[in-house]
Amino acid sequence: MTTLDRDATPASAAGTFGSVITAMVTPFDHRGELDQSGVSTLARWLTRPGWNDGIVVNGTTGESLTTSDEEKLSVVQSVKEAVGGSGTKVIAGVGAGDTRHSIAMAVAAASQGADALLVVAPYYSRPSQRGILEHFLAIADSTPLPVMLYDIPKRTGVAIEPDTFAAAAEHPRIQAVKDAKGDLEGSSWVMKRTDLAYYSGDDALNLPLLSIGAVGFVSVVGHVVGHRLRDLLDCHGKGHVAEALMIHRELLPVYRSVFRAPAAASVKAALAVQNLPGGSVRLPLVDLTEEEATILLQDLESSGFLSSQPVAAV
């Protein structure tokens, strides 16, 4: 185990990052420009009582590859203002293939009041494990904010190895992992060797990851079932295994329907039918076709998680 001056219990992790966290889409208006008001409205909607206690902005689902640094900064500012004072944690995605760019985004996010940073493994260049580690350490050194590492090799082209996690965990600000690798054995070993707080970054594996020691979720489906993710986490924490399994199985159709197409497009289609801000996605993503949207909404409605009736403004 590492010997850091911090406590990686579920309670302490929740106090730093939240426990049920949604990776929020970035709303755009009819012209494809950033919908500043929509950002605020959606953030408030996602963090209503019993739902999410953390929001990731400028992540994959937030279409971070197609938003400018200025737009990213505006999103952090708007979300922080919208949920400020509620205890909701605002976690800014600052991933990039260029370490200097990530550092610049981290410093900017900190200046706008972000509570923590989400840092994905550097993509495209496929650096060595030493390069990945130095990337993480440089970003962690650049601000006083706690850092959650994001392991998703199917997107980045590189996996973060257990030894790299162990070395990164020696840095006092690197405190958590968003795990979307799908390697439960590997994750188990990292949790055994370090006190990094693990969050499921793959909705279909939310319960399996809890069973090996994860403390919460960074979810996409939290846009539509955040309350049931809260129930799942609470049941598991209380040892109500059968009830947790029931919720997991109840949510399986939701996981499949949302991820049948790129998640940002699916979520925005689900938001639109509820009169919530989202708008279209930016190229190279494309909006769902009418047929795809119909299937998605039918799946969500038949599962009891979506009403075709518009919601009240927040």
The catalytic residue positions are 150, 178
CA separation for the pair 271, 107 (Å, rounded): 31
Task: Report whether 274 contacts 310 (CB < 8 A).
Answer: yes
Max CA pair span of the chain = 54
With b for 16 or more beta-carbon neighbours within 10 A and e for fewer, the 11-32 pattern comes to: eebbebbbbbbbbbbbbbeeee
Give 221's DSSP letter.
Answer: T
Task: Report whether 158 contacts 188 (CB < 8 A).
Answer: no
Place of tokens 């219990």: 9
Number of residues that this document lists for the chain:
314
Structure tokens at 284: 């190279």
Q: What is the DSSP string of 60-83?
A: TTTTGGGS-HHHHHHHHHHHHHHH
Report cis status (omega within 30 of 0) of the bond before 284.
yes
Q: Which amino acid is at 218?
A: V
Place of tokens 């499949």: 256
CA separation for the pair 117, 112 (Å, rounded): 12
CA separation for the pair 25, 43 (Å, rounded): 10
CA separation for the pair 59, 150 (Å, rounded): 10
